Amino acid sequence: MSRSLRVANGGSIRRTRLLSFSFNGTLYSGFEGDTLASALLANNVRTVHRSFKYHRPRGVVGSGAEEPNSIVQVGSGSKATPNLRATQIELYDGLTARSVSGWPSLRVDLYALNGLLGRLLPAGFYYKTFMRPRFLWSWYEHFIRKAAGLGQAPREADLDHYDKLNIHCDVLIVGGGPTGLMAARAAGRAGARVIMADEQAEMGGSLLSSTASIGGKKPGDWVETVVSELTRMPEVILLPRSTVTGYYDHNFLVINERRTDHLERPDPRLRRERIWRVRASQVVLATGAIERPLVFSNNDKPGVMLASAVSTYLVRYGVLPGRKIVFFTNNDSAYQTVLQLVDAGMEVVAVVDVRSDPQGDLIQQVRSAGVPIFEGHVVVDVRGGTSGLRMVLIARVNKTLDEILSHKGELRCDVLAVSGGWNPVVHLHAQSGGKPVFNEECASFLPGPSVQNERSAGAGNGTFGLADCLREGAEAGRRAAQDAGLTGDGSVDIPKVESHVEGSLHPIWVVPNGLAEGRGGKKFVDLQNDTTVADIRLAAREGYRSVEHLKRYTALGFGTDQGKLGNINGMAILADVLGQAPGKIGTTTFRPNYTPVTFGAIAGREIGSTFFDPTRKTAVHQWHVENGAEFEDVGQWKRPWYYPLPGETMNEAVRRECLATRESLGILDASTLGKIEIRGPDSAEFLNRIYTNSWLTLEIGRCRYGLMLGEDGMVMDDGVTSRIGEDHYLMTTTTGGAAHVLAWMERWLQTEWPHLRVYLTSVTDHWFVTSVAGPNSREILTKLCTDIDFSADAFPFMSVRAGTVAGIPARVYRISFSGELAYEINVSANYGRSLWQAIMTAGQSLNITPYGTEAMHVLRAEKGYIIVGQDTDGSVTPGDLGMDWIVSNGKDCIGKRSLSRQDTRRENRKQLVGLTTVDPTLVLPEGAQLLNEPAKEFPAPMVGHVTSSYFSPSLRHSIALALVKGGRSREGSMVYAQLIDGRVIPATIGQPKFFDPENQRQKV
Amino acid sequence: MKNKYSIFSLARNAVTYHENWREAWRSPEPRKGYDVIVIGGGGHGLATAYYLASEHGIRNVAVLEKNWIGGGNTGRNTTIVRSNYLWDESAHLYEKSLRLWEGLSQKLNYNVMFSQRGVMNLGHTLQDMRDIERRSNANYLNGIDSEVLRPEQIRQIVPIMNTSPHARYPVLGASFQRRGGVARHDAVAWGFARAADREGVDILQNCEVTGILRHNGAVTGVETNRGRIQAKKVGVVVAGHSSVIASMAGLRLPIESHPLQALVSEPLKPILHTVVMSNAVHGYISQSDKGELVIGAGVDSYTGYGQRGSFSVVEGNIGAIVELFPVFSRVRMLRQWGGIVDVCPDACPIIGKTPIRGLYFNCGWGTGGFKATPGSGWVFAHTIARGEPHSLNAAFTLERFSTGALIDEHGAAGVAH
């Protein structure tokens, strides 16, 4: 086994707690406080991944969210989680992880043959081939798909739960590094309600891998002091392991908090993740910066790492990623890491600096420590394999860094630490609507002018010195609190830190290797997608010159790291190729999420049979369940569909329910119909505008059927509205349309007719409604209710009376959707079950039979009554339904204008008709398309379709409603339903009325 | 053909380190005038230019794009292609498009990766199923492939779907169009651009139209940030901004512009092999060749031109996906974006003439324009070349909003595309 790379002491890991974990089936050990990446490095595991296209071995490059390589699958079964970054996985005992690529193994990957064919696979090669023969594409694609993709989705449902919180705050601080801590301190002292979120397990940011003293304290101790002050502030919330992933309009931000993934055996009551939906008055972006790699031949080999990552692994995790380290830099910051290594007594082979005369305090210190510095040199290539680097090849470079002057041989090493400068994390600023601007000094993009109430500070704002960060953070926090309206004193002392003079950075986007571009080892820009300098040049050559085209053509920045490491280099290289300034090229769009967010967390609790959408049940639901009802989903409601007796089929049950209702007495739970209270002196006028018919003359105690249209003149909803009092109406709507109708009417009231004194309230759930239908309905009502006169004259059809039914205060309507004599009883929902029970008991002798929606549909279809949404589809006018009579000539209403349009006046429109099949036992399928004659060739001209179709138990033959072109004038003619299964069913057109066409029964 | 794409040309160019590839399309300076100017370098506009040249011999054509080609909805959609629409007018138009898709890579000599992996539209209620039956029967009679699947058949094709009868909205069935599928959206723009360029069409990027020049009720050209360009005819295909260009010509369109969001997960090994769409549990999903789950969210209800949407829409959408696919709960969402869709009152496009002679509009595709790309270009090219619509787009006039001859795809075909 390889030797351990753990240094003897140091780091903030807890060495007393040894943890064991497995990677690709091998057991390793690490310490509490390790990440999977640091533990793998400590165990000298160099290759953790195979690259996307060429399957080249890849090792850990970074130490956080920027990591493109170490993508692993963690856990198994219902806990399997794909595509986590080893650099962000906190180690726990028993963790199992495996790499997501490499076949048959990570070490021996046969797909690496792709590497040999690499020249055939430039950017966008797939657009140029796999085209012929055409039928083979699906075969090619099968293999492309198999080769692509990272981890595997779990095969089992997730057992974890996720929560959401909504919160307001004065100041949201993103990032808990030195800048963020100072901002929080200042804002907190000013009295602001502060939330500070940091993606790492603890606050501190860059200080966690720093050795420089701050305010006379060790960095860790200083962080501790600030955190403990913040913890004591009651209005400050500190959120570790929490990434601000999205910045939306109106200072709405989303935080993804991870609560259990780092735990060995999480308390099952703990929710795995939480989404904080934050509305912040002010935002401070203290997001820091990400080090930029350098682009040279074979810069992807395991052992090439960011200098900052080397520093983090050493200082924070006590891991020295190599025994012999070479640095390659174009700026001063890497020298800080060199000094940390020197201080820890480690060997630094050399520093290769592209600058010919680097000046700066740190450089002097490194020089005096005896570390050789190759000035004006570059690393042109590296040698190494799956187990790490063997050497780097260096060369002298000219002043403009684009030409090799002389090759200088090799430096033996096992790690190359690189630094190409720093990219401020401007993602959230950009998401907020800001436009990052290119800054020559740091050769990267800085936040532009703020668009929302946010300010950037610290390294995220291009301020890199620690002293400046602390000052800027304090200032940002103080001013944010002030802008949020806080008047408290937000002043804080700026702790003293050692500062040093830094030399300037010399940008180098591509390191020359003495060969023509594209020759020699590949120079990788985006490690995860295997995008090389040659790919970028090819894209530019082929005309994909917009930075967005570049991204899409070469997949630059398309990976799960979203280009945090490679994008700036890639854009600068494109600019260089095009001879433009990087600032002119611009960036691709920064969009949510900053780092990926678990679907489950975004979905939250609103999934599953209970919470995906509320289930609405009527007051008598339990009775229906107890009596064996089958249910139908209508909108959010569960409606009894039919009530099969033991052994009964659906058809038999529906037949029995229909016949009982027609012959004696049926009872329906009609509670789900939408009910809207309409009150106010202009209610009648309002109804007049909403409905097609006239409402000015409706007397108190009477009801009327109404049809409402969309602006296009098409039927939108229908229902019965009654006048309860002088300025008081109750509208009923379809079950599924209730919410829409209410919103629709509110829209008209609020935006178009604000002067109308009308007030709308949904009362759907307040009432329990049952319809008692059949020739014996009057008899049972008379039995149950003594304070209403049910005689035909005293209580005529289409009227409403108040009274007491079975001792319960009720409104009784005499209306009918079945064509039978029928009453609808409305009582307060709380009394629903008592009323239902009382009716059932009283009706026993009359064979009272509960019927469901299916029987209701049959009964109404026998009468030719439409169901909006089933017999209409948004393209049907009242005239098409044969209901011209309901459109009043004497007034206007919504949609009326549209009815006089040329096409809506057309004779040959699809009209509602009745159909009877030639074979009376055959029931036409609903949705059957109709033809004038069976089709022999396709496309065939269709003349309509079947909207409703049933077997009528009362008539003993099948019936159907259909919309047929010019149907009303075609009575008696034949149409053919030709079905996708090949059947052809002939039918005859008739009136859309099958039963009691004179409507005698409901008026008795 | 020079610079033809094939495995052989790839191999040949590999020898020379791919340094001899020509640009896929030229970036010429604008000429003084053109026979036809197409405003909008999205898929539809580029397809229009290509078919103008290749089908009608009109090669003196420029495509004017204010940013980079394919940067609007062409590069922002969920790439679903299908033709199983309800109404005859829509069905015939989209079927024409689907047929063009079927040979498009070969015709353009650019692999647009049209992948006929099937499109499934789920039904969750009895009314959904009535609508599915109705639409499938209509598709069958219109000569369009369609099947109605039962839950057990759905389970066979997509075993990871939650088809439990105890789900909040159980899957009762589905329509399935096997010829439907997905394509590589950027490649569609690039492929049409390259093919159009080869036919002589000038593609002018970073060329923003600022005015429509007219004389005596006829169009004479356009004003742009790169100067005035004359044209005998102007075709406008600028989804997301149709009303903006229309107002330059003094026209008002019956269009509302809304943000429509989409999102992708991190890449996964192949797990979902067909496109699945659901209206009731609102979401649609497929898996790209790169392995990402590509998910369409809903339309934000407010209007606007900002290509970003609100988080609540994403929450609802991901909830729907997790509800349908519980195994995706631990998968992570990588990135979300928005496009601006121009929505007509009847959810169908406007493709045809305007009251201004020589000015043509192709707009209002709402949330479903990608699948129509080749067909839309084909009929629009015909309309511009002949000055009269093709029978396939004759019904999609601007006048239908005054005559009332709407083609309402809201009703039974569903609004999700």
Residue A285, helix vs strand vs coil: strand
pLDDT in tens, A239-258: 999 999 999 999 999 999 99
Chain A residues in contact with B184 by the CB 8 A cut-off are 127
Which token pair is B169? 């909205």
Place B280 in a pLDDT band, splitting at 50, 70 and 90.
Answer: confident
Interface test with B, best of A152, A552, A599 (most B CBs within 10 A): A599
The Cα of B292 is separated from the nearest Cα of chain A by a number of Å equal to 7
Query: Nearest residue of B to residue A633 by CA position?
Result: B125
pLDDT at residue A499 greater than cutoff 90: no
Whole-number pLDDT of residue B408: 82
Map out the domains of chain A as residue ranges: 162-289+424-483, 621-672+766-859, 674-762, 907-1004
Count chain A–chain B contacts defined by CB atoms under 8 A: 339
Residue entry with tokens 């029978």: B391
Residue entry with tokens 């990677």: A23
pLDDT in tens, B122-172: 999 999 999 999 999 999 999 999 999 999 999 999 999 999 999 999 999
Containing A781, the helix (H) or strand (E) segment is helix A777-784
Rounded Cα distance between B84 and B87, Å, is 9
Q: Nearest Cβ partner of A156 from B129, B146, B327?
A: B327
Q: A717 with A738: CB under 8 angstroms?
A: no
Chain B residues in contact with A610 by the CB 8 A cut-off are 168
Whole-number pLDDT of residue A2: 53
Q: Which CATH class is domain B116-180+257-343?
A: alpha beta
Whole-number pLDDT of residue B2: 59
| Residue B71 to residue A546, Cβ atoms within 8 A | yes
HEC per residue, A204-250: CHHHHHCCCCECCECHHHHHHHHHHHHHHCCCEEEECCEEEEEEECC
Rounded Cα distance between A228 and A204, Å, is 12
| Residue B25 to residue A632, Cβ atoms within 8 A | no
Interface test with B, best of A117, A606, A607 (most B CBs within 10 A): A607
Taking all residues of chain A, what is their mean pLDDT, rounded to a whole number?
Answer: 96
B42: CB partners within 8 A, 6+ apart: B65, B69, B70, B71, B72, B73, B74, B189, B237, B238, B239
Chain B residues in contact with A136 by the CB 8 A cut-off are none
Whole-number pLDDT of residue A119: 85
Q: A555 with A525: CB under 8 angstroms?
A: no
Whole-number pLDDT of residue B173: 98
Whole-number pLDDT of residue B413: 39
pLDDT at residue A799 greater than cutoff 70: yes
| Residue B319 to residue A604, Cβ atoms within 8 A | yes
Q: What is the ipTM of this complex?
A: 0.97
Judged on CB neighbours under 10 Å (0-12, 13-18, 19+), A873 is buried
Place B414 in a pLDDT band, splitting at 50, 70 and 90.
Answer: very low
Rounded Cα distance between B72 and B40, Å, is 9
pLDDT at residue B1 greater than cutoff 70: no
Chain B residues in contact with A81 by the CB 8 A cut-off are 330
| Residue A552 to residue B75, Cβ atoms within 8 A | yes
Task: Please state the rounded mean pLDDT for residues A198-221.
Answer: 95
Judged on CB neighbours under 10 Å (0-12, 13-18, 19+), B310 is middle
The Cα of B314 is separated from the nearest Cα of chain A by a number of Å equal to 8
The Cα of B214 is separated from the nearest Cα of chain A by a number of Å equal to 31
Q: State the CATH architecture for A674-762.
A: 2-Layer Sandwich (3.30)
Whole-number pLDDT of residue A10: 85
pTM: 0.96
Task: Please state the rounded mean pLDDT for residues A55-79.
Answer: 96
pLDDT at residue B417 greater than cutoff 50: no
A485: number of Cβ within 10 Å: 10
Query: Nearest residue of B to residue A634 by CA position?
Result: B125
Map out the domains of chain B as residue ranges: 116-180+257-343
Interface test with A, best of B331, B398, B402 (most A CBs within 10 A): B331
Interface test with B, best of A141, A145, A637 (most B CBs within 10 A): A145
Lowest mean pLDDT across A560-569, A667-676, B292-301: B292-301
| Residue B336 to residue A119, Cβ atoms within 8 A | no
> What does CATH list as the number for A162-289+424-483?
3.50.50.60
The Cα of A546 is separated from the nearest Cα of chain B by a number of Å equal to 6
Chain A residues in contact with B410 by the CB 8 A cut-off are 874
Query: Nearest residue of A to residue B188 by CA position?
Result: A127
Whole-number pLDDT of residue B416: 37
The DSSP secondary structure of A539-553, one letter per residue, reads HHHTT--SHHHHHHH
Place B412 in a pLDDT band, splitting at 50, 70 and 90.
Answer: very low
Query: Nearest residue of A to residue B131 by CA position?
Result: A927
pLDDT in tens, A844-856: 999 999 999 999 9
- CATH fold of A621-672+766-859 reads Gyrase A; domain 2 (3.30.1360)
Place B309 in a pLDDT band, splitting at 50, 70 and 90.
Answer: confident
The CA-to-CA distance between both ends of chain B, in Å, stands at 37
B153: CB partners within 8 A, 6+ apart: none
- CATH fold of A907-1004 reads Elongation Factor Tu (Ef-tu); domain 3 (2.40.30)
Place B411 in a pLDDT band, splitting at 50, 70 and 90.
Answer: low
Whole-number pLDDT of residue A208: 96
| Residue B333 to residue A869, Cβ atoms within 8 A | no
Q: A40 with A92: CB under 8 angstroms?
A: no
Q: What are the counts of helices (DSSP H) followed by strands (DSSP E) for chain B? A: 11, 18
Core vs surface per residue A57-81: b (16+ CB within 10 A) or e = bbbbbbbbbbbbbbbbbbbeebbbb
pLDDT at residue A896 greater than cutoff 70: yes
| Residue B289 to residue A141, Cβ atoms within 8 A | yes
Task: Please state the rounded mean pLDDT for residues A803-832.
Answer: 97
pLDDT at residue A566 greater than cutoff 50: yes
The Cα of B80 is separated from the nearest Cα of chain A by a number of Å equal to 16
| Residue B125 to residue A632, Cβ atoms within 8 A | yes
pLDDT at residue A166 greater than cutoff 70: yes
pLDDT at residue A111 greater than cutoff 90: no
| Residue B408 to residue A122, Cβ atoms within 8 A | no
Chain B residues in contact with A612 by the CB 8 A cut-off are 167-169, 281, 319-320, 323
The DSSP secondary structure of B243-266, one letter per residue, reads HHHHHHTT---S-EEEEEEEEEE-
Whole-number pLDDT of residue A110: 82
pLDDT at residue B385 greater than cutoff 60: yes
Whole-number pLDDT of residue A767: 98
Q: Nearest Cβ partner of A141 from B75, B115, B266?
A: B115
pLDDT at residue A478 greater than cutoff 70: yes
pLDDT at residue A796 greater than cutoff 80: yes
Query: Nearest residue of B to residue A873 by CA position?
Result: B411
Whole-number pLDDT of residue A1: 40
Q: A37 with A70: CB under 8 angstroms?
A: yes
Which token pair is B365? 């595709």
Rounded Cα distance between A976 and A964, Å, is 11
